[in-house]
């Protein structure tokens, strides 16, 4: 990766550091291999393999459909409730899984961190990106569901990658903060799974954002996953209630989290090997 002439200068760094895009790019193969390793190991260790990626959102969809859709009669924006909630569970799974894995990732990789140099950020980033595999599998199930409920695809679907990106940014942002803090304070490892559970309910997965009164929606959209999931539904079902402005707020919050998370990560990563 370095040539003969390259000189590495090692000295103490202080304060805030620039984001190391270039370094991460140099180590992109490592990022790929870390994702590849976890995917490979999971599919080797589990009997059901890819089926797990489907079972989780499917089970949630059924429970939500029975209790919220059928029994509580929660509205679902003119789309069949199971399809409506499944479309929310997809990005939510990508987000919650990513945050949970990223939080524990650095502590779990302590032996590696103590023995070899690489940009530490590849570890939580890989932990977030691994979710894309499950997400991709779960996305495939959307096709038969949309056929069953006869919802036609529109050109809006081309926006899907963008909202996926917002979801990833939100997951990485929260994951970087929590992962880095978890190295120093193991309490974070206990808080995050609980926080993610609560977060599920303040995100429009089981219910549409339209349940909120207008003045609350702006505050609500500070939750980056609110806009991401609304965007998802709009991309898939062309939901008429979609508000680009609110989704933009969510997206901005997501990227703000990512940038600040990365900055914080850079500030504390120098101590990881000593304290992890």
Partner 1 sequence: MTSSTIEVVNLSKRFRIGALQSSSRTLRDMLVDAVKAPFQKRASRVENTIWALKDVSFAVSAGDVVGIIGRNGSGKSTLLKILARVTEPTSGQARLRGRVGSLLEVGTGFHLELTGRENIFLSGVIMGMRREEVKRSFDEIVAFAEMEKFIDTPVKHYSSGMYMRLAFAVAAHLRSDILLVDEVLAVGDIEFQRRCLSKMEAIGQEGRSVIFVSHDMHAIARLCSRALWLNNGQLMADGVVMETIGQYMGLGENSSAQRQWDDPATAPGNAMARLRSVRILNEAGVVSYRHDIRCPITVEFVYDILQPGKRLSPFMFCNAEDGTHLFLSTDWSNEAVNALDPSYVGRRTAWCTIPGNLLAEGRFTLSPGLSVVQENNNVQVYEPDAVSMTVYDPMQGDSTRGVFGGVYPGALRPLLNWRHEDRVEVEQR
The answer to whether the CB of 79 falls within 8 A of the CB of 242 is no
- The interface region with partner 1, picked from 26-34, 127-135, 143-151, 195-203 by CB under 8 A, is 26-34
Interface with partner 1 includes 22 (CB under 8 A)?
no
For the record, the structure tokens of 144 come out as 């038969």
DSSP 8-state class, residue 68: I
Q: Sketch the per residue contact string, 150 through 189, with partner 1: x for CB under 8 A, - otherwise.
A: ---------------------------------xxxxx--
For the record, the structure tokens of 110 come out as 């302590």
Distance CA(166)–CA(98), nearest Å, equals: 13
**Binder to partner 1 among 21, 25, 29, 161 (CB under 8 A)?**
29
Q: Burial, 50: exposed, middle or buried (Cβ in 10 Å; 0-12, 13-18, 19+)?
A: middle
Distance CA(185)–CA(127), nearest Å, equals: 19
**Binder to partner 1 among 19, 24, 33, 145 (CB under 8 A)?**
33
Interface with partner 1 includes 7 (CB under 8 A)?
yes
- The interface region with partner 1, picked from 41-49, 72-80, 169-177, 222-230 by CB under 8 A, is 41-49
Interface with partner 1 includes 23 (CB under 8 A)?
no
Interface with partner 1 includes 117 (CB under 8 A)?
yes
**Binder to partner 1 among 47, 71, 116, 155 (CB under 8 A)?**
116
Chain-centre distance for alpha carbon 64: 21
Interface with partner 1 includes 44 (CB under 8 A)?
yes
Distance CA(107)–CA(49), nearest Å, equals: 25
Interface with partner 1 includes 111 (CB under 8 A)?
yes
Q: Sketch the per residue contact string, 233 through 272, with partner 1: x for CB under 8 A, - otherwise.
A: -------------------------------------xx-
For the record, the structure tokens of 114 come out as 């103590």
Distance CA(138)–CA(89), nearest Å, equals: 10
């Amino acid at each position: 990766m370095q040539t003969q002439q390259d000189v590495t200068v090692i000295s103490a760094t202080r304060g805030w550091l620039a984001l190391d895009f270039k370094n991460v790019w140099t180590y992109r193969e490592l990022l790929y291999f870390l994702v590849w390793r976890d995917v490979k190991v999971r599919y080797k260790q589990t009997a059901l393999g890819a089926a797990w990626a489907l079972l989780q959102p499917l089970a949630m969809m059924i429970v939500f459909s029975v209790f919220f859709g059928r029994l509580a009669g929660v509205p679902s924006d003119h789309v069949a409730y199971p399809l409506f909630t499944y479309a929310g569970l997809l990005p939510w799974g990508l987000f919650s899984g990513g945050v949970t894995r990223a939080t524990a990732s650095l502590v779990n990789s302590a032996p590696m961190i103590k023995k070899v140099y690489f940009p530490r950020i590849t570890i939580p980033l890989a932990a977030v990106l691994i979710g894309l595999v499950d997400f991709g599998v779960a996305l495939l199930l959307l096709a038969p569901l949309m056929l069953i409920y006869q919802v036609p695809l529109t050109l809006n679907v081309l926006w899907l990658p963008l909202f996926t990106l917002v979801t990833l940014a939100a997951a990485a942002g929260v994951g970087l903060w929590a992962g880095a803090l978890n190295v120093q304070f193991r309490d974070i490892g206990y808080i995050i799974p609980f926080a993610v559970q609560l977060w599920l309910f303040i995100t429009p997965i089981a219910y549409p954002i339209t349940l909120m009164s207008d003045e609350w929606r702006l505050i609500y959209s500070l939750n980056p996953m609110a806009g991401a999931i609304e965007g998802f539904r709009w991309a898939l079902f062309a939901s008429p209630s979609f508000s680009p402005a609110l989704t933009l707020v969510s997206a901005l919050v997501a990227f703000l989290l990512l940038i600040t998370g990365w900055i914080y990560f850079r500030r504390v990563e120098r101590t990881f090997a000593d304290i992890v």
